Amino acid sequence: MRKKDDEKQNSIKKAVINSILKEGLHGTSMSKIAKEAGVSPATVYIYYQNKEMMLQDIYREYSEEVFSYLLNKTNEDMDGKELIEVLIKSYYAYIKDNEEIFNFVEQFSCCPVLSNQCVTMKGIFSLYNLFDDLKGKKIVKNFRNDSLSAIIFSPIKSISNNHCIKEEEREDILEEMIKIIQEALLL
């Protein structure tokens, strides 16, 4: 068996994301991915058993990356107001800096093939543990974690994905949204 190469694997992942975003799931084949990555189809199969496993692995990796990125920006010394601001601004920055990866993850977040991945994802549980800690300390209102996540992150997706808004206006809307979310969630 041939040895795996991180550079080749990264090229394959990038090709998967580009192909899926351009041609959709059904328009993307292992041979198209290999061609875009500059490797042979056999090389793709060294890293991934099949297309479904490849999508699951890449989806899981990048989903976890989002949570890791967010949680690494927080610390225990932050008060609730600062924590919400950091989560929101970090999420917005991640979306802007990783637009293709973010769009790939978003596209597949509701995919039935990948929906069984939730039970194995550590990032969402770490975020929910943070929410539970904040609720236990009486910093945020005792809403369900899914609701807290939706209230904090969904508006930010909407702001970042609205291409009709100029960047400076987005920044103002983001600041306003931070205040709205803080008022809605903090005790």
Same-domain pairing of 44 and 82 = no
Domain that holds residue 77: 59-185
Is 53 a member of any domain?
Answer: no
Query: Distances in Å between the alpha carbon of 27 and those of 70, 82, 166?
Result: 32, 44, 33
Res 159 pLDDT > 90: yes
Is 89 a member of any domain?
Answer: yes
Is 65 a member of any domain?
Answer: yes
Mean confidence (pLDDT) of the chain: 89
- Provide the whole-model pTM: 0.87
* CATH code of residue 24: 1.10.10.60
Supply φ then ψ for residue 19, to 5 degrees. -65, -45
Same-domain pairing of 87 and 142 = yes
Res 134 pLDDT > 70: yes
pLDDT tens per residue, range 24-79: 888 888 999 999 999 999 999 988 998 888 888 898 899 899 999 999 999 989 99
Same-domain pairing of 73 and 136 = yes
Which of 63, 181, 39 lies closest to 55 in space, CA to CA? 63
Angle (nearest 5°) at CA 70 between 179 and 114 = 115
Res 115 pLDDT > 80: no
Same-domain pairing of 101 and 154 = yes
